[in-house]
Structure formats: C-alpha cells, structure tokens
Amino acid sequence: MLKDITIGQYFPGTSVIHRLDPRMKIVLTIVYVVLLFLVENLAGFVLSVVFVLAAYLIARIPVKMIAKSIKPILPILLFTMLLNLFFVRGTVIWQWGVLEITREGVRLSVLMVIRILCLIAGTSLLTYTTSPMTLTDGIERLLKPLGKVHFPVHELAMMMTIALRFIPTLVEETEKIMAAQKARGADMETGSLIHRAKALVPILIPLFLSAFRRAEELALAMECRCYHGGKGRTRMKQMHLAPRDLWALLLTAAALAAVIVCNIFFGSLYG
C-alpha cells in the first residue's frame, strides 16, 4: 500500500531522456506546463498528448506508470470534470431539475481532464527519469542566482536532498513497524474510523522516535565530516550541457511554437 506512492519514484534507465541535464529537464517540464495552459483548441490538445506519450516511449517508461501516478488525484479529476460539466453555460443538451449539461460543458470538461492528465504525466516523467539527488542538484543550480539576494539556496537544496533521501528509509521503517505490530495482532484494516485511528498509535510512536534518532545521528555524522554549509563547497559531478540537451530544448520549443500557431489559426474552444 505504501509502495504505491509514486511521487519521487525514480525509474532507472539509460534512455536519452534519462541522460538529459537535470537543469534542462526541469526547464523543459516547466515549458511543457506552460504549453498545456496555452492550449486553446483540439489540435493543440492532440499535440500535447502526442508529445508526452512520445516522451514516455523514448524514455522507455511503461505507459501504465501514468495510470499509477494518476490514481491519487482521481478525486480532483472527477471533481473538476463534474464542475465543468454542470456549471458551464451554453447550448443545453440535457436537463433534470436544476441540473443541466451544455455542449460547451461537455467539451470543456473533457479538455480539462486531458489537460490535468498531461500535467501529471509530464511532471511525473521528470521524477521517473531523474534520480532525486540529481533533481535537487539541478534545482540548486537553477536557483543559484537567488543566492545574491541572500536566499539560502544551498541550505534549501540540502534540506530537500535529505528529505528525499529519507522518504524510502521512512517508508521501509513504517512497513517494518507495521509488520512487527501486525505480528502482535494489531488490526489496522477493520473496525470503525476511531478504532483505526487508535490503531495508528503503535505505529506512529516508534516511527517518530526513529525519525528523531536518525536526524540526530545524521547531524552528528555531518558535523564529524566538518559540514559547514554551501560556502566554498565544490562538486564531484559537474553538470555540462550536451548537444542532446539543445535538441530537447529545440523540440520542446517547436512544440510550444506549434501550439501558439494552432491558437492563432484554429481559434479558441473557449469562445
């Protein structure tokens, strides 16, 4: 059950997309999100779906992973769909009491759903193809200019790195503690809501204790190795842009341009 959390779950591979510079991948993901919000017509939507699917194929990430990452936001998806379905004014095609569905509503809700799906698929691809450590390195480099205004970029990146590093550890720890309490007959799956909330106590207390213990040990270990923040710190792995990064940028820019052109020539669906 805990293993179903896919955010930040890296899917190792050696595809071109895996090897892209993390900075470029972050920028491209942002560009893709912007693209999704610029799209105004069917041609644009087709383009954005094809774009993200092609990226999955190139990265050799099984497409069913998209389904996995969508599962947690299914309620939001449904809510958006219903909201658009019932509250958009226009040509009424179905009516029951105060509820009415319009042609525009149907169209818009379908498009909204596609947009959200692409959004999730696109951003998940970033975390599927980039290891968390590389990702935070990329973020740190991208945010570096902010350091000029005394924004603690390095500290922030270090916090993110540590947090990301410890997610799998804590998940594993939780599973272990759950198994141990289950072995003593703890029942977490049945009973009323209050009963189930109470059943969490035997898991949360040991988990908190171990998280604090780990934090303390880590702080000590870092101090032992003379960690003193980002000042004067050099990197073992330098990031360099390669030709493939430029090609990726070019392709994404072309997609963005195509969407804008579509908007100009095919008009808008939003009327």
Residues near another protein (CB under 8 A), total: 21
Counted residue by residue, the chain has a size of 271
| Residue 148 sits in the site that holds another protein (CB under 8 A) | no
Calculate the dihedral angle through the C-alpha atoms of 184, 187, 188, 194, rounding to the nearest 10 degrees.
Answer: -120
Nearer Cβ to another protein (8/202): 202
| Residue 5 sits in the site that holds another protein (CB under 8 A) | no
Nearer Cβ to another protein (13/90): 13
Secondary structure of residue 130 in the 3-state scheme? coil
Closest separation between CB of residue 200 and another protein, Å? Answer: 11
- Element housing 42 (H / E): helix 42-59
Nearer Cβ to another protein (149/183): 183
| Residue 56 sits in the site that holds another protein (CB under 8 A) | no
Q: What are phi and psi of 237, to 5 degrees?
A: -105, 110
Question: By rule CB under 8 A, what string of x and - marks binding of each residue 159-178 to another protein?
Answer: -----------------xx-
DSSP assignment, residue 261?
H
| Residue 209 sits in the site that holds another protein (CB under 8 A) | yes
| Residue 2 structure tokens | 């805990």
- Taking each helix axis from N to C end, the angle separating 22-38 and 103-129, rounded to the nearest 10 degrees, works out to 180
Which amino acid belongs to residue 58? Answer: I
Residue of 187, 216, 217, 223 interacting with another protein (CB under 8 A): 187
| Residue 1 sits in the site that holds another protein (CB under 8 A) | no
Closest separation between CB of residue 130 and another protein, Å? Answer: 15
Closest separation between CB of residue 13 and another protein, Å? Answer: 8
Closest separation between CB of residue 54 and another protein, Å? Answer: 21
- Taking each helix axis from N to C end, the angle separating 201-224 and 153-183, rounded to the nearest 10 degrees, works out to 140
Asked if 102 contacts 88 with a C-beta cutoff of 8 angstroms, the reply is yes
| Residue 230 sits in the site that holds another protein (CB under 8 A) | no
d(CA 175, CA 167): 12
Nearer Cβ to another protein (180/257): 180
Label residue 187 left, alpha or beta by phi (over 0 means left) and psi (-120 to 50 means alpha).
Answer: beta
Nearer Cβ to another protein (60/107): 60
Question: Which residues here bind another protein, judged by CB under 8 A?
Answer: 3, 11-13, 176-177, 179-187, 201-202, 205-206, 209-210
